[in-house]
């Protein structure tokens, strides 16, 4: 039997900080672009425990956190919640987030919005054709760190990879004010 709540329980004590980060990112992007950005992902912008699989809540596994209202642009907010990660280290993205973006490429434009607390740095990655070509070419490795006593998996995107852009790339796409 699959325990759909295992990872939720593992990270439940970080939801407040994660939720605040999503809210802060949405407000910053809205302020800079004039776009209306709303939470749409399972539990995005909330600390409410939602048991069971995403599908039991009308969502899909790996759905993005935010949506730009009136567009097909979706934003996955991620990044470490600790100050110790340096801007030269690779950006980690969960495989289910990448797979969700791949499956929905025809109807959704998905951006990873990676926030690094050290230096308050925001970088973005468009999960589009260029990203998936680089993935297929083997530009990104799978890392399996042990976090909170559990083995996890992420794609590691080198900080200097051409797919990693400054936040301005997303702001330009949103029609920066």
* Torsion region of 101: left, alpha or beta (phi above 0 gives left; psi -120 to 50 gives alpha): alpha
Average pLDDT over residues 32-36: 96
Higher pLDDT, 4 or 116: 116
Higher pLDDT, 53 or 119: 119
> Which tens digit of pLDDT belongs to each residue from 88-106?
999 999 999 999 999 999 9
Average pLDDT over residues 71-98: 93
Identify the CATH assignment for 6-173 out of 3.10.180.10, 1.10.3720.10, 3.40.1350.10, 3.30.70.260: 3.40.1350.10
pTM of the model: 0.90
SS3 127: coil
Q: Look up tokens 């530009």; give the residue.
A: 139
Q: From the centroid of its chain, how far is CA 13?
A: 19
pLDDT for 50 equals 66
Q: Could you state, in order of their start, the residue ranges of all structural domains in the chain?
A: 6-173
Q: From the centroid of its chain, how far is CA 169?
A: 16
Higher pLDDT, 63 or 128: 128
SS3 37: strand
- Does residue 6 have a pLDDT over 70? no
Q: H or E element: which one contains 109?
A: strand 109-116
pLDDT band at 27 (very low <50, low <70, confident <90, very high): very high
* Percent of the chain clearing pLDDT 70 (strictly above): 90
Q: Which of 98, 101, 93 is nearest to 153 (CA)?
A: 93
């Amino acid at each position: 039997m699959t325990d759909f709540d295992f990872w939720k329980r593992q990270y439940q004590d970080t939801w407040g900080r994660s939720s605040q980060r999503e809210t802060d990112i949405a407000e910053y992007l809205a302020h800079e672009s004039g776009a209306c950005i709303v939470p749409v992902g399972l539990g995005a912008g909330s600390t409410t425990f939602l048991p069971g699989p995403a599908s039991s809540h009308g969502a899909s596994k790996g759905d993005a956190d935010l949506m730009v209202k009136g567009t097909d642009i979706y934003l996955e907010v991620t990044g470490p919640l600790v100050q110790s990660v340096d801007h030269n280290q690779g950006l980690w993205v969960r495989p289910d987030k990448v797979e969700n973006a791949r499956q929905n490429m025809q109807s959704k434009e998905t951006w990873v919005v990676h926030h690094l607390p050290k230096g308050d740095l925001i970088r973005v990655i468009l999960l589009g054709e260029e990203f998936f070509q680089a993935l297929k070419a083997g530009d990104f490795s799978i890392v399996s760190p042990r976090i909170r006593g559990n083995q996890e998996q992420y794609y590691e995107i080198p900080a200097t990879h051409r797919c990693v852009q400054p936040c301005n790339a997303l702001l330009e796409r949103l029609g920066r004010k």
